[in-house]
Amino acid sequence: MQYFNIIISLFNEMAPYLLLGFFFAGILHVFVPQNVFTKYMSKNNFASVLTAALFGVPLPLCSCGVIPTAMALRKEGASKGSVISFLIATPQTGVDSIMATYSLMGLPFAIIRPIAAFCTAVFGGFFSNIFIKNEKKDIIEPQITCAGSVQTGFKDKIKEVFKYGFVDILQDIGKWLILGILIAGVITYFVPDSFFQMFSDNLFLSILFVLILAVPMYMCATGSIPIAIALMMKGISPGTALVLLMAGPATNIVSILIIGKVLGRRTLILYLLSIISGSIGFALIIDFVLPPQWFALPVTHEMLHSHHADSLFWFKTASGIILFILILSSFILKYFSNIKKVNTHTAYKIEGMRCNNCRINLIKIVKEIDGVTSAEVDLNLGILYIDGNPDEEKIKEAAYSLGYTFKGKIKN
């Protein structure tokens, strides 16, 4: 019962801020078109790198979902440095994770986390422009005919805000958020404090431990927060916790493989070096330069075990119930709703799609191919359904340009 009390308390603490963050995420998605990004990210200079980092910090995309978005920006003319800057900044933060960081870790952490993401992204993008500016263009560009954007009314846009914020995003990060809270509960309740005493006098050993844990593992920016809190409660320093918050969401083995495949090995090395060096640098700043009282956790063991003492207990509980219902509903929609298939559909197997941003980007680029009248993606099965008579090679090129693997047509 104490274990379940811990995870419920963590979930309820985050819920009000997450709900507000998901709403803002929907607004950003609907009312800020992607061509706004490319307009300011096309030049091979420092300004485009800076702009890409500024755009990337508030967007709620995970390290998987940011890859097809970045590849689409690259295809539309964004420079390589700005793409790397966007790839580094975006998965580390987002309006939802910034608000959740504030709710559980306090204002200083909520401020320094996006600052660290921004600085790391600018560093990586800047050096990418210096060292890889003469490398040949690496993205295969399908010859597409743009059909133009579909005009929608304000009511439809508001519906899309809620759909993206409370369905699409929750389908992408809901399970990782729950998993992060469950892992945090396990660390908090079952792992003895003595386990982390080996790191108490050796900061670099603790940073190395967290990097080995975080770099290959998939964790979203929001789901990493309760894990960082649990580690801090066991004695990990605030700076080391920031390493987890930066390196965990920004990297995983899948994104590493795709970036290496699509953007090249040198770009991948710069990408990883920027994230690792940036996280270590800001860890040292937090632990040795900034006042330690700034990073004292507002959430304690006692609060997790006696949450009823909170004056906002009922409000947070109600928010937690609403968020849980939304996550459950998004899972039902994702795993139990079937795409209607008719005889005119041509099905292609596409590997590498893992979230709704993957689906959205592939549909967008495929719909622009000459001969395609409609397109839909079954994310669970990894199948692209197309109406029309397009050139199959263009479908293959479109999938590759976003970092996916085209496996060919599925026979009926």
pLDDT tens digit sequence for 94-133? 888 999 999 889 999 999 999 999 999 999 999 888 877 5
My answer on whether 366 and 271 are in the same domain is no
Task: Tell me, yes or no, whether 54 and 165 share the same domain.
Answer: yes
The per-residue pLDDT for range 201-233, each reduced to its tens digit, is 778 888 998 898 888 887 888 888 998 988 888
Secondary structure (3-state) at 404 = coil
Question: Are 13 and 54 contained in the same domain?
Answer: yes
In this prediction, residue 344 carries a pLDDT of: 52
Question: What is the mean pLDDT of the segment spanning 10-20?
Answer: 85
Query: pLDDT, tens digit, for every residue of 314-348?
Result: 888 899 999 999 999 988 887 776 555 544 578 89
Residues 6+ apart with CB under 8 A from 363: 375, 376, 377
Q: Which residue has the higher pLDDT, 310 or 285?
A: 285
Tell me the C-alpha distance between 20 and 271, whole Å.
31
Q: For residues 246 and 381, state if they share a domain.
A: no
Residue 251 lies in a domain: yes
Q: Tell me, yes or no, whether 332 lies in a domain.
A: no
CATH code, domain with 404: 3.30.70.100
Are 293 and 373 in the same domain? no
Total-model pTM: 0.77
Beta strands 346-351 and 405-410, pairing class:
antiparallel
Residue 393: HSE in the Cβ half-sphere, 13 Å Cα cutoff: 3
Q: Are residues 306 and 359 in the same domain?
A: no
DSSP labels, 75-140:
HTT--HHHHHHHHHHHHH--HHHHHHHHHHH-HHHHHHHHHHHHHHHHHHHHHHHHHSTTSPP---
Tokens of 115: 């600052």
Indicate whether 304 pLDDT > 80. Answer: no
In a domain, 294, yes or no: yes
159 with 199, same domain? yes
Q: Which residue would you say has higher pLDDT here, 113 or 137? A: 113
Return d(Cα 98, Cα 114) in angstroms, integer: 8
**Torsion on CA atoms 90, 92, 97, 98, rounded to nearest 10:** -90
The confidence band for 143, taking pLDDT boundaries of 50, 70 and 90, is: very low
Domain-embedded: residue 264: yes
Domain that holds residue 62: 2-317
Query: Do the Cβ atoms of 223 and 177 come closer than 8 Å?
Result: yes
Tell me if 333 is assigned to some domain: no
| Residue 177 falls inside a structural domain | yes
Q: Are 76 and 35 in contact (CB under 8 A)?
A: yes
Give pLDDT tens digits for 233-278.
888 899 999 999 999 888 888 778 878 877 778 888 989 999 999 9
What pLDDT is attached to residue 199?
A: 66
Domain assignment of residue 326, yes or no:
no
Do 356 and 313 lie in one domain? The reply is no
Shared domain check, 193 and 62: yes
Band of residue 145 on the pLDDT scale cut at 50, 70, 90? very low
Q: According to the model, what pLDDT value does residue 197 have?
A: 65
Asked whether residue 71 falls in the same domain as residue 213, the answer is yes
Q: Note whether 297 and 383 are same-domain residues.
A: no
The answer as to whether 322 is a domain residue is no
Q: Which residue has the higher pLDDT, 146 or 117?
A: 117
Provide the CA 78 distance to its chain's centre, in angstroms.
Answer: 20
Q: Are residues 70 and 195 located together in one domain of the fold?
A: yes
Question: What total of structural domains would you count in the chain?
Answer: 2
| Angle ∠(138,55,269) on CA atoms, nearest 5 | 40
Is 155 a residue whose pLDDT tops 70?
Answer: yes
Alpha-carbon torsion (236, 238, 239, 243), positive or negative: positive
